[in-house]
Structure 1
């Protein structure tokens, strides 16, 4: 039989990511290398419209539960018996109302993009100016709206869990009460209050305060052992398997980039632009859409813009993008100086409609590759100004940027972006999957480490 330390090094770590259209599992080893991945799709939408507004057959909770067991059952038996820790991430702002005894949902899940405008006036009266819960999509608006619709009662029998919390509870079996700093931010949890963060006093006096998860843990902290019968049938490690506090899907994707030094940033360059910067100081400004998450003892300052890859897609096909990018000559300084900036002064936030952003794309240069260069440069300008704005608000200066999303595949865009930010390094993130980030958090919790970044 192997010594216990060698057996410990044999341990594997599982990250589970539940996104908007499907779920993914990533298993990593002690060094943070990927061992295997599995995916699961949710059942087809049967009720409702396009773009995530519909509901899959059986409802969202059953779709997530089915995907959870599918992800685990697809793993090889030899992998499952070595998994020593698991962490889950889910969509931020998606919440469930569950029975306190069983943890089973008693009401259809309220999704991240669902608005509960009926709760805004009440929360604007109790929450301070600029607070994240004053948005109709906030988790607290959803809880308030549910409580009112339930006849202003039920706080003794029912509890609120976030998407990731509920899935983790299918593993450890605690029916309610467990969440993490990042998922709880849109609920109103203040990660800077007291030594470990807390709900502010105005939240604790709400009539349904008892429904809030009482244990709000740092991502990467141990929660409880995998204990439900269904989960133990899949995660069969004879030494046991621990559930570690997870995070939101976007922060898990940040964790995947393996950076924790103030000044490190990840730009997700998909159809829109999402910016996250590690900072020594916390900055929040809801008017600019800037807010800070707590992560591994630093602050993670986030902002976003709806300007991004959709501007390319609406003007060029994928093949055209490749061919035209090839034609761009970044050493042609004269061409660089004469390229129009379509979004001068525009910062993060959702200040422009699709029509305004589209109408701003003029004058259009004669050559298609010059038009493409102008769009790439204009989006780069928004990114650069946004990081500068974060710094002017008190955050750390950006020192290097990792890129996730489709835009990471365009090295010329990376060069244009680097120049816009004063020449700092801009590189593609080697790992961009949220499930990989959650696996790193599982590893961190198992070894009780202060950081999720594996030692090089």
Structure 2
């Protein structure tokens, strides 16, 4: 029997999956590591923690599964996006990695916009946000000039891990798309942006495809974790790209709805001319020549967790949501906007906050719970609407995360999105997507589409109920008015916030 390993290098932990040729999971291991918060808004990590955690997981996989090292053909990766790892001429790490959720770079974002103007969206297809990598590079360049003078190149988190495994410094393209240094439509580094900010020659490493082989394991790394040095290592993908692959978003017409702490709606696209004016993210996909458009709701599942912890701390989620299904769409005239921590899509606004609109004395806890679920889904539907306005077909939504665990919420998604919604039989997320990239790279399948047909099983399909869909279409128009109506009110409240 032959196997591949998918490694998901996350923000708080690394997860590894051992998968056979039928897509069956034969081993799993996880190791956590700390975040470093020296000041408010700072979020860093020591890259050595990623290496040590991965080694521990790989050793555990082999020991617990009993699989021989020679039976493992390939390894690939999913990685947290945008994190800055600066390397010197000897590829030694110069400082802790600045992570995607590090928000110290607002001024650098404004400088990028001022210097590049319309070129920024024309080239990168994305707006300058604090999470991206280029603002972090400029922050170090400005605030740590002596250290930056030693920087020869940069990589992203999973690409650093792959370097430590293979000895080759490369950057995989779906992750490179989140740096603000890549010409996304052309799939190449932007010389214009590199020159505009005076970055050194060779600062952007060679690009690598997601299923392209990066090399084999260094003998010393193979010995540390018990693998064979002949194990092939492949490019991998950004966590969102891998999550999409792991959910089967591999053909046009399919979209992903992921409701975790934040929420993501993501769709597959092959037309590189799509331009959303920066309202949604547009990145290179793990599939060669393909892209994905992505909208983000900052407080998706977090809104429901906040509601439960604040108003029903003694109930489980199942108990809290049990009465919701008996209520009609619209929660009897109650709306919720999930702006608890600001919003991302389509309103990049850090000041806006959430609202209950239409609250009356007849509303009970179950009305508020339903309104929260509907408000989260409406926010995600705004991204779906942007996709459709740009000519992207959304024919089916594959739902994962917390929103896929509740049948009422799955039906609600179908009714609000106006399209069939289906859950997965075995949801494994980005780690499975990484394993699929290793499977394709190893030659088990001709494409990620072929691999998805074998590896991914779908659950029940929820079709839109026409009467509900019509009611939600009317309510959605009301929901879309709330942001503009409350924006100035929230600005006025800003001075009173703790």
TM-score by length of 1: 0.84
In structure 2, distance between residues paired with 1:233 and 1:337: 57
Other-structure match for 2:29 = 38
Q: Which residue of 2 aligns with 1:62?
A: 48
Counting matched residue pairs gives 431
Report matched runs for 1:116-127 at 5 Å. Answer: 116-117=105-106, 119-124=108-113, 125-126=115-116
- 1-side partners of 2:71 and 2:93: how far apart? 31
Partner of 1:275: 265
Q: Mean alpha-carbon deviation: is it higher for 416-425 or for 281-290?
A: 281-290
Per-residue deviation, residues 189-223 of structure 1 (Å, max 9, x unmatched)? 12321xxx211230353532424333212212111
2:301 corresponds in structure 1 to 309
Q: Are the aligned partners of 2:152 and 2:203 in contact in 1 as well (CA < 8 Å)?
A: no
1:296-320: per-residue Cα shift (whole Å, max 9, x none)? 1432111111241222222224735
CA distance in structure 1 between the aligned counterparts of 2:277 and 2:130, rounded to whole angstroms: 13
Alignment of 1:287-366 (within 5 A): 287-296=278-287, 297-316=289-308, 317=312, 319=315, 321-329=317-325, 338-343=332-337, 348-351=345-348, 356-360=353-357, 362-363=359-360, 365-366=362-363
**Aligned with 2:371 (options 367, 370, 374):** 374
The answer (yes or no) to whether the contact 1:84–1:237 under 8 Å persists in 2 is: no
The equivalent position to 2:388 in structure 1, one of 388, 391, 398, is 391
In 1, distance between residues paired with 2:58 and 2:147? 37
Higher mean Cα deviation, 316-325 or 258-267?
316-325
SS at match of 1:186: coil
* Cα drift, residue 292 of structure 1: 3.2
SS in 1 for 2:58: helix
User: 2:61 and 2:316 mapped to 1: Cα distance?
Assistant: 39
Long gaps (5+) in structure 2: 455-498
| 2:139 pairs with one of 145, 150, 153 | 145
| Counterpart contact for 1:203–1:209, Cα < 8 Å | no
Cα deviation for residue 61 of structure 1 reads 1.7
Match of 2:156 among 155, 162, 166: 162
One of 214, 218, 225 as aligned partner of 2:216: 225
The answer for the alignment partner of 1:5 in structure 2 is: none
Stretches of structure 1 that go unaligned for 5 or more consecutive residues are: 1-9
Q: Does 1:109 align with 2:102?
A: no
Alpha carbons 2:83, 2:100 under 8 Å: kept: yes
Partners of 1:137 and 1:336 in 2: CA distance: 35
Give the counterpart of 2:72 among 83, 93, 101. 83
* Residue 389 (structure 2) pairs with residue 400 (structure 1): no
Among 246, 249, 255, the residue aligned to 1:259 = 249
| CA pair 288-433 structure 1, distance change in 2 beyond 3 A | same
CA contact (8 A) 1:311 1:358 kept: no
Query: What is the CA-CA distance between 1:258 and the residue it aligns to?
Result: 2.2
Distance 1:435 1:360 in 2: 40
Which residue is equivalent to 2:8? 17
Change (3 A) 1:121 1:399: closer
Decide whether the 8 Å contact of 1:305 with 1:350 is kept in 2. Answer: no
SS in 2 for 1:24: strand
Change (3 A) 1:338 1:281: farther
Instruction: For 1:121 and 1:53, locate their aligned partners in 2 and report how far apart those are by CA, in whole Å.
Output: 18
Q: What is the alpha-carbon distance in structure 1 between the residues aligned to residue 36 and residue 382 of structure 2?
A: 43
What is the deviation of 1:106?
Answer: 1.7
- Deviation digits for residues 312-365 of structure 1 (CA, Å, limit 9, x no counterpart): 2222247353224222345x65x6584433349x99335566873145473575
Q: 1:135 to 1:384 in 2, by over 3 A?
A: closer
User: What whole-Å deviation, never above 9, does each CA across 1:231-275 have from its counterpart, x for those lacking one?
Assistant: 34435337x111100112222222211231212111111122111
Q: Are 1:133 and 1:139, in contact at CA under 8 Å, matched by a contact in 2?
A: no
Could you tell me which residue of structure 2 aligns to residue 6 of structure 1?
none
Alignment RMSD (CA, Å): 3.1
Q: CA deviation at 1:227?
A: 2.0
Once the two structures are TM-superposed, the CA of residue 284 in structure 1 deviates from its matched residue by 3.9
Change in CA separation of 1:374 and 1:147 when aligned onto 2, cut-off 3 Å: closer
- C-alpha change, 1:71 and 1:286, in structure 2 (3 Å) is farther
Post-superposition CA distance 1:392-433 (Å, at most 9, x none) = 022x22111122222221111110111112241332463233
C-alpha separation in 2, matches of 1:219 and 1:432: 19
2:227 and 2:305 map into 1 onto residues whose CA distance is 46
